[in-house]
Chain A
Amino acid sequence: MNGFKTLQDKAISFDRANVDTDQIIPKQFLKRIEKTGFGKYLFYDWRYQSDGNPNQDFELNMEENQGASILIANENFGCGSSREHAPWALMDYGFNVIIAPSFADIFHQNCLKNGLLPIKLPHDQVNYLLDKGKKQPYQLKVDLENQKITDEKGFSTEFSIDPYWKTMLVNGWDEIEITLQLDDKIAEYEKAIV
């Protein structure tokens, strides 16, 4: 995984609450055994009509929303199933950051493990961003090292992130590698429990 330091890019609004992972990536696409290529199925049932044509009213299909890498969402984003295919699909589509007032636990964790940065901000700030993101062009700068989000209109805020995950993301470290360095501790624990 590459390290994440700063990102300045297009941010779009996705103003829906309780978006569940069944919507992010519907089950018919979970049968694949690869990690890549899920982007074209992202939000499939919302993105396409039953005849397979794109649903023009859907946020992601709008002309002005193309090419964004920052998604501004609403509360309880990513609830439901533990499928990691959800962050895989979001990243494969092109998103690197999701901003919302709250995230479901497992989804939040799954994002961090894959280098997709979930940022929790207070409701009023998210409402401001949702509003701005509706009128393109709109860009945000996300600075993970300094934990800051800014736009060109004078908005600026700090966000909090677990220091452990910040280090992991900034350096792009592999968690398993780190744990394997503690192998003797695990072995010691195992000895004690038998």
Chain B
Amino acid sequence: MGKSIIEKIWDQHIVHQEEGKPDLLYIDLHLVHEVTSPQAFSGLRMKNRKVRRPDRTFATMDHNIPTDNRHVINDKVALNQMTTLEKNCQEFNIPLAGIDSPDQGIVHVIGPELGLTQPGMTIVCGDSHTSTHGAFGSIAFGIGTSEVEHVLATQSLWRAKPKTLKIDIKGEMKKGVSSKDIILYILANYGFDFGTGHVIEYSGEAIRKMSMEERMTICNMSIEGGARAGLISPDETTYNYLKGRKYAPKGEAFEEAVQKWRELASDGDAVYDRIITIDANDVAPMVSWGTNPAMTSKVNERIPRLEECETEIERKSLERALTYMGLEEGQRIEDIHIQHVFIGSCTNSRLEDLRQAAEVVKGRHVHPNVRALVVPGSQQVKQQAEFEGIDQVFKDAGFEWRESGCSMCLSMNNDVVPSGEHCASTSNRNFEGRQGSGARTHLVSPMMAAAAAIHGHIVDARTLLAAETVS
């Protein structure tokens, strides 16, 4: 019987096995950011413990960082959290892409960009969207602060072997449909907890044709379906992306690594605990209308009606969500009015995302009722976008062009959506209050966010792509 990539990586990382206990798993790469690490470092200090492998640890600051002028931080508590990270990295000798580093950015954007993320690795970070790194064929998952401390001290974690779920995506994405729509479509159809206890492997024709950026978007939102990790077997696309990156192996070592990575792909006869098959041809641009990512519909559909709910829990959730969102049951999705647009976050802030949004924006103008923000995922993305002139396309259209960080994805800095207003956002969570107290979030792809910015309401981005832009 063959093995899946999940089992292969798992088995390669077992340090210790004992009856009645989870496995002790070696962790190859530990990414650290300012919000979930301070208490872990204090824990080490209290017990006089060291960081076992600073060379396998990498830190950045992204959650709190201002995206307008990054050197004016008025929030003293946030500032303290960032200087605490600097001090901790210094004391424990951990490399840090700090506020002035050209490598700074959202932790899940810079890991791949710097070539830290590699196939076959186990990767953890005190952040649930660590699943992003699975796009490279690694087992990558979010952990809490106690486990951050555990990994710092021991470079390992206790973990019971997860169940495996294969999601096979047949067919090809149509123009105007993106990988964000695919993952939202999966969530809309299978719910917010179908993946609990599983690691997902995404496979199939549609996945093979995707760029690394598109793959990262899908793996990123695995956690929204309850799965801590989602991954994709590596292939030529993966190796081409990694070649020449700062921390990727170089020269002969790279060729050797590729030889090893090739063996990771799941065997044809691998067995999974569960398999789901979807067809990319069925996917349209998706829009979330509720308060969890599974409350999502196709752009040309309507919000469900209360009478359509199958259970009492579902009915209550729908009722609550509609009240919070200020929307009516049965309302057309395209009639949702938008006052804010956010293009950014670890889901959709990479160069390709910005290119796709810019294609929609080019030669058009942001609707007068809309405030629109582009926040590149990293300093490198920002620079490259500026080199290509993408920033100008956005600025000419009336978008604000910002410095890199998490920004309005969770609004820990000053980028907040006011109470009661609607935001078309390329981020990953639409929970109550996520983008600000009372803020109403609609999760969409970069193309759909751009289209909403132009029209002031949700609109099918495909209609804007089809029409010739007047320049």
Instruction: From A81, A114, A175, name the one whose CB has the most chain B CB atoms within 10 angstroms.
Output: A81
| Interface check B411, CB cutoff 8 A | yes
Q: Are the C-beta atoms of A31 and B412 separated by less than 8 Å? A: yes
| Interface check A121, CB cutoff 8 A | no
Contacts of B377 in A (CB 8 A): none
Q: How far is the CA of A81 from the CA of B224 in the complex (A)?
A: 9
Q: Are the C-beta atoms of B26 and A162 separated by less than 8 Å? A: no
Q: How far is the CA of A113 from the CA of B75 in the complex (A)?
A: 31
| Interface check B62, CB cutoff 8 A | no
Contact with A along B367-389 (1 / 0, CB 8 A): 00000000000000000000000
A62 to chain B, nearest CB (A): 19
| Interface check B182, CB cutoff 8 A | no
Q: A17-B316, A110-B144 are in contact. Are A182 and B412 (CB under 8 A)?
A: no
Q: Which B348-402 residues have C-beta < 8 A from chain A?
A: none
Q: Are the C-beta atoms of B81 and A31 separated by less than 8 Å? A: yes
Q: Are the C-beta atoms of B412 and A106 separated by less than 8 Å? A: no
Among the listed B15, B36, B153, B419, which residue makes an inter-chain contact with A82, where contact means beta carbons less than 8 Å apart? B36
Q: Are the C-beta atoms of B78 and A83 separated by less than 8 Å? A: no
Among the listed B153, B160, B226, which residue makes an inter-chain contact with A180, where contact means beta carbons less than 8 Å apart? B153
Q: Are the C-beta atoms of B128 and A179 separated by less than 8 Å? A: no
| Interface check A128, CB cutoff 8 A | no
B405 to chain A, nearest CB (A): 14
| Secondary structure class of chain B's binding surface, majority of residues | loop
| Interface check A7, CB cutoff 8 A | no
Q: Are the C-beta atoms of B411 and A33 separated by less than 8 Å? A: no
Q: Which B9-62 residues have C-beta < 8 A from chain A?
A: 15-16, 20-22, 24, 26, 35-36, 38-39, 42, 47, 49, 52
For the complex, count residues of B whose C-beta is within 8 A of A. Answer: 61
Q: A33-B39, A179-B158 are in contact. Are A81 and B411 (CB under 8 A)?
A: no
Nearest CB to that of B148 among chain A residues?
A: A84
Q: Are the C-beta atoms of A27 and B431 separated by less than 8 Å? A: no
Q: A82-B126, A182-B15 are in contact. Are A18 and B292 (CB under 8 A)?
A: yes
| Interface check A104, CB cutoff 8 A | yes
Q: Are the C-beta atoms of A106 and B38 separated by less than 8 Å? A: no
B195 to chain A, nearest CB (A): 9
Q: Which A45-71 residues have C-beta < 8 A from chain B?
A: 45, 50
Contact with A along B170-204 (1 / 0, CB 8 A): 00000000000000000000001100110000000
Q: Are the C-beta atoms of B316 and A110 separated by less than 8 Å? A: no
Q: Are the C-beta atoms of B143 and A180 separated by less than 8 Å? A: no
Contacts of B281 in A (CB 8 A): none
Q: Are the C-beta atoms of B22 and A179 separated by less than 8 Å? A: no
Q: Are the C-beta atoms of B437 and A105 separated by less than 8 Å? A: no
Contact with B along A12-55 (1 / 0, CB 8 A): 00000110101100111011111100000000010000100000
Q: How far is the CA of A32 from the CA of B193 in the complex (A)?
A: 30
Contacts of A23 in B (CB 8 A): 431-433
Among the listed A104, A110, A189, which residue makes an inter-chain contact with B15, where contact means beta carbons less than 8 Å apart? A189
Q: Are the C-beta atoms of A105 and B313 separated by less than 8 Å? A: no
| Interface check A135, CB cutoff 8 A | no
B66 to chain A, nearest CB (A): 13
A50 to chain B, nearest CB (A): 7
Q: Are the C-beta atoms of B197 and A105 separated by less than 8 Å? A: yes
Q: How far is the CA of A18 from the CA of B202 in the complex (A)?
A: 25
Q: Are the C-beta atoms of B144 and A104 separated by less than 8 Å? A: no
Among the listed B16, B20, B126, which residue makes an inter-chain contact with A163, where contact means beta carbons less than 8 Å apart? B20
B36 to chain A, nearest CB (A): 7
| Interface check A6, CB cutoff 8 A | no
B200 to chain A, nearest CB (A): 13
In the complex, identify which listed stretch (A72-80, A91-99, A136-144, A153-161) lies at the interface while the others stay far away: A72-80
Contacts of B22 in A (CB 8 A): 162, 164
Contacts of A75 in B (CB 8 A): 193, 313
| Interface check B117, CB cutoff 8 A | no
Q: How far is the CA of A111 from the CA of B36 in the complex (A)?
A: 15
Q: Are the C-beta atoms of B317 and A27 separated by less than 8 Å? A: no
| Interface check B147, CB cutoff 8 A | yes
Among the listed B78, B81, B150, B437, which residue makes an inter-chain contact with A175, where contact means beta carbons less than 8 Å apart? B150
Contacts of B156 in A (CB 8 A): 179, 186
Nearest CB to that of B13 among chain A residues?
A: A189
Q: Are the C-beta atoms of A79 and B226 separated by less than 8 Å? A: yes
Q: How far is the CA of A26 from the CA of B434 in the complex (A)?
A: 8
Contacts of A76 in B (CB 8 A): 192-193, 196, 226
Among the listed B81, B126, B144, B432, which residue makes an inter-chain contact with A22, where contact means beta carbons less than 8 Å apart? B432
Q: Which B129-163 residues have C-beta < 8 A from chain A?
A: 142-147, 149-150, 153-156, 158, 160
Q: Are the C-beta atoms of B75 and A31 separated by less than 8 Å? A: yes
Q: A22-B434, A50-B419 are in contact. Are A102 and B144 (CB under 8 A)?
A: no
Instruction: From A45, A105, A109, name the one whose CB has the most chain B CB atoms within 10 angstroms.
Output: A105
| Interface check A185, CB cutoff 8 A | yes
Nearest CB to that of A75 among chain B residues?
A: B313
| B binding-site residues for A, Cβ under 8 Å | 15-16, 20-22, 24, 26, 35-36, 38-39, 42, 47, 49, 52, 63-64, 75, 77-78, 80-81, 84, 126-128, 142-147, 149-150, 153-156, 158, 160, 192-193, 196-197, 226, 228, 292, 313, 316-317, 410-412, 419, 429, 431-434, 437-438
A-B contacts, 8 of them at CB < 8 A, read A17-B317, A26-B437, A30-B63, A87-B144, A110-B144, A162-B22, A176-B153, A186-B154
Extra contacts besides A31-B77, A186-B52 (19): CB < 8 Å? A18-B317, A22-B432, A22-B434, A23-B431, A26-B437, A27-B411, A31-B35, A32-B81, A45-B432, A76-B193, A79-B292, A80-B128, A83-B36, A84-B146, A102-B193, A105-B196, A162-B160, A164-B22, A176-B150
